[in-house]
Amino acid sequence: MLIYRIELTDFRVYKHAVIEIEPGVTAVVGRNAQGKTSLAEAMSYLATLESFRGVPNDALVRLGADTAYVRANIRHDDGREVLVEAEINRSGRNRVQVNKQRLARIRDLLGVVRTTVFAPSDLQLVYEGPTQRRQLLDDALVALSTNNDALRLEVDRIVRQRNVLLKQSAGRMNAEISNTLDVWDEKFVEVGTRLGEARARLVAQVTPYVCEAYEVLAGEPTRVDLIYEPEWRTVGLGAALVAARNDDIRRGITTVGPHRDDLVLGINGMPARSHASQGECRTLTLAIRLGIHRLITHHVGAAPLLVLDDVLSELDPSRSTALLRHLPAGQVIITTASALPEAAHPDAMITIEDGEVVASVKIAK
């Protein structure tokens, strides 16, 4: 998959810009707040329909405009040409067209474009709560198979429905509410179990790739663990829900299930969060992104676009060199505010200033 042209209109800092992107490695340079991250964000939006920084839609629209447009020309490995046009509205629904055909649901875009984004904020994967780690797993599942998107949305929906029922039932549990809760539980068991299985399978498949990536970056063999072992999976979701029901009713929320899962990250047999240095944690998050990237490449048969947003300055020189020497095949975009390290041999260089492309050069090798 190759995104060879992207056109941004009223997208974050861009009033209007057309950016042609080469296959291989493209360096995007510019001072901070000039539009490097906006470019990365536009690309990840096409893949996930949300900002990788987790900001709401209206933050993607340029100040003073109502609608942002992202147009991307994509060429698949089999030669198929796809034009994706996304319209992001400050208020109201967003719209997406693929080859000028409007999609009935914008989520139908998932799977058309795949991206892997690594950004400094990824350090939160280690230090923050489990939400981001669950999202990491689920985003990877969606990239592997778009069916997983419906699965994850259905789990969310059932939990919300069930929580409303639990709140209603507080203090006035009767046979009817109990019967209603039973059927929601049955559906939750069916769908939640499938999501748990999918996550467990993903973790098992991706772990070797993550270990390999970590070793390459760190330059020495290191034990890396990704542990996904929610308690409900050992007894089964049905039994876990029965055991938790009184507690759930008392608290008015669903206390067990895949929506509460965590992925524990370990280095050298110890939890990374409490025992690893910041440098190790950064290497770990990068290794996880690269591991998922390789798994998806292997599984889907095409490499997603890899975006390294402003991360070289965060890595120590030896790791940054190791990363640049072992970049996966496929299209890579590296954004940086500082000079490119020696080890970077980009195929093209784009300079961005104040939301405009001021220079774009191909580099002969």
Distance (Å, whole) CA 186 – CA 165: 14
Binding of another protein at residue 197 (CB under 8 A)?
Answer: no
Binding of another protein at residue 101 (CB under 8 A)?
Answer: no
Distance (Å, whole) CA 162 – CA 167: 9
Binding of another protein at residue 89 (CB under 8 A)?
Answer: no
Binding of another protein at residue 184 (CB under 8 A)?
Answer: yes
Binding of another protein at residue 195 (CB under 8 A)?
Answer: no
Closest distance to another protein from the beta carbon of 104 (Å): 10
Binding of another protein at residue 66 (CB under 8 A)?
Answer: no
Distance (Å, whole) CA 228 – CA 133: 10
Closest distance to another protein from the beta carbon of 105 (Å): 9
Binding of another protein at residue 161 (CB under 8 A)?
Answer: yes
List the one residue from 186, 197, 229, 316 that touches another protein (CB under 8 A). Answer: 186
Distance (Å, whole) CA 169 – CA 295: 44
Binding of another protein at residue 162 (CB under 8 A)?
Answer: yes
Strand stretches in the chain, DSSP E: 2-11, 14-20, 25-29, 67-75, 81-89, 95-98, 101-102, 115-118, 224-227, 264-267, 270-271, 305-309, 332-336, 348-353, 356-362
Binding of another protein at residue 187 (CB under 8 A)?
Answer: yes
Closest distance to another protein from the beta carbon of 354 (Å): 32
Binding of another protein at residue 183 (CB under 8 A)?
Answer: yes
Q: By C-beta, is 180 or 255 nearer to another protein?
A: 180
Are the C-beta atoms of residues 158 and 188 closer than 8 Å to each other? yes
Binding of another protein at residue 168 (CB under 8 A)?
Answer: yes
Burial classification of residue 281, based on how many CB atoms lie within 10 Å of its CB (0-12 exposed, 13-18 middle, 19 or more buried): buried
Binding of another protein at residue 281 (CB under 8 A)?
Answer: no
Binding of another protein at residue 182 (CB under 8 A)?
Answer: yes
Binding of another protein at residue 170 (CB under 8 A)?
Answer: no
Token pair of 257, please?
């299930």
- Give the SS3 label for residue 29: strand
Binding of another protein at residue 158 (CB under 8 A)?
Answer: yes
Using CB under 8 A, count the residues that bind another protein.
19
The DSSP secondary-structure symbol of 112 reads T
- Residues in contact with another protein by CB under 8 A are 150, 154, 157-158, 160-162, 164-165, 168, 176-177, 179-180, 182-184, 186-187
